[in-house]
Amino acid sequence: MIDIPLWAWAATIAFIIALFVFDLLVAVRRPHAVGLREATVWSVFYIVVAIAFGLVVMAAGDGTAGTEYFTGWLVEKSLSVDNLFVFVILMSRFQVPIEYQQKVLLFGIAAALVFRTVLIAIGAAAISVFSFTFLLFGLALIWTAVQLMRHRNEEPDVQDNWLVKRTRALLPLSTDLHGGRLLAREDGRRVATPLMLVFIAIGSTDLLFALDSIPAVFGVTTEPFIVFTANAFALLGLRALYFLIEGLLGRLVYLSTGLSLILGFIGIKLIVEFVHLDVSETVPEIPTPLSLVVILAILAITTVASLLRVRRHPEERAKPGAVRKPRPREDGDTHDKDRAAT
């Protein structure tokens, strides 16, 4: 593990918060539909920032730390694309006006980063105390990979969400957006706007994604600083990336297959790590540079194969995949009524 001084942690966290605040001010102070040019500029900016940070890590530490960061960032970025699928479904199901979409995305992403930071701290503590955590993480990732492969052509029910249902039960809901606010007052009482439901759905859905992505990045490195920054810089550009590739997502028909292969590979890597540490050191570890090559190859093959498939079958559209079979919609289900109200 590399030695990260306290001032480096503080400076990095301050820098990440500053970027989030700046992004939030851009989205909230001037609600507007994000065009392709604006989305491209911001996407490139955040990719450049993430790469520049990786080069700093490489220069300040060593080649291993830099390789671990770039591999972890690539894993988190690729898994974030699957998040975007669900975000697109959420925006459509809740009929969020386009000028408010980036605000909701940013609130959800900020909440996701807080949740992931907590999970990273728990994961790092568990790994430092119990080496069999590698085994548990590995088995969890392999299970997720199998489930994602089984349900790769399905869409998760984004409204069948415990937090969303509890919000509906506990808070009176308004049909008015109230200028893009999350909470408002109507007739002297506090009500939740439709955007509050979307915010909760995005934050809680990303928390579920984190249960896969955090173990995945721990399969690349056990250094908490690299795990945290890889997650943070992967999430930072998600708002702009959403608007940039929203139209392209439907063409990535093999994305779920590729992601399941990546999760399965990292799961195997974690199990091998456990065997190396607790069973026999003669069992070789899977080196991080090899992991980077495998992940890049899977992403490249998946993307090219998807585009070729859609070119031959333009009627096909990608699905985000699900880790469990969506609940069948029953007669009298209130979801459609709630959606119509929003």
At residue 220, does pLDDT exceed 90?
Answer: no
Exposure class string for 110-130: b at 16+ Cβ within 10 A, else e = bbbbebbbebbeebbebbeee
What CA–CA distance (Å, rounded) separates 108 from 204?
A: 8
- Terminal-residue alpha carbon distance, the chain: 50
Residue 91 in any domain: the answer is yes
- The confidence score (pLDDT) of residue 340 equals 37
Mean pLDDT in residue range 17-28: 78
Is residue 163 a part of any domain in this protein?
Answer: yes
Pairing of strands 189-192, 183-186: antiparallel
- For the cut 90, the answer to whether the pLDDT of residue 11 exceeds it is yes
53, 231 Cβ separation under 8 angstroms? no
With respect to residue 333, please indicate whether it lies within any of the assigned structural domains: no
Whole-model pTM? 0.74
What is the average per-residue pLDDT within 148-169? Answer: 68
| 270 inside domain | yes
Q: Lowest-pLDDT range, 19-28, 121-130, 142-151, 164-173?
A: 164-173
Q: What is the pLDDT of residue 159?
A: 57
Other beta carbons less than 10 A from residue 224's beta carbon: 20
Q: Is the pLDDT of residue 152 over 60?
A: yes
Least trusted range by pLDDT, from 95-99, 155-159, 284-288: 155-159
Residue range of the domain that includes 277: 6-324
At residue 162, the pLDDT reads 64
Are the C-beta atoms of residues 240 and 46 closer than 8 Å to each other? yes
In a domain, 144, yes or no: yes
Instruction: Work out the average pLDDT over 329-336.
Output: 45
Closest of 55, 77, 67, 51 to residue 299, by C-alpha: 77
Based on the structure, what is the number of domains in the chain?
1
Confidence (pLDDT) at 52: 94
| Weakest mean pLDDT among 123-137, 169-183, 186-200, 296-310 | 169-183
The answer to whether residue 192 scores a pLDDT higher than 80 is no
In a domain, 340, yes or no: no
pLDDT band of 116, cuts 50, 70, 90 = confident
Residue 183: beta bridge partners?
A: 192
Please give the pLDDT value at position 129.
76
- 329: three-class secondary structure by DSSP: coil
> What's residue 109's pLDDT?
77
Over residues 271-280, mean pLDDT: 80
Q: Where are the beta strands (DSSP E) in the chain?
A: 183-186, 189-192
Tokens of 278: 């607790």
The mean pLDDT value of the chain amounts to 78
Does 67 score more than 80 pLDDT? yes
Residue 10 has pLDDT above 90, yes or no: yes
> Does residue 40 carry a pLDDT above 70?
yes
The fraction of the chain above a pLDDT of 70, given in percent, is: 82
Instruction: Write out pLDDT tens, residues 305-329.
Output: 988 988 888 877 766 556 556 565 5
- Residue whose structure tokens are 């997650």: 231
Asked if the structure places residue 232 within a domain, the reply is: yes
Amino acid 203: pLDDT: 72
Interior CA angle at 146 toward 300 and 249, to 5°? 40
> pLDDT over 90 for what percent of the chain?
8
**Is residue 334 one of the residues assigned to a domain?**
no
For range 115-137, the mean pLDDT: 81
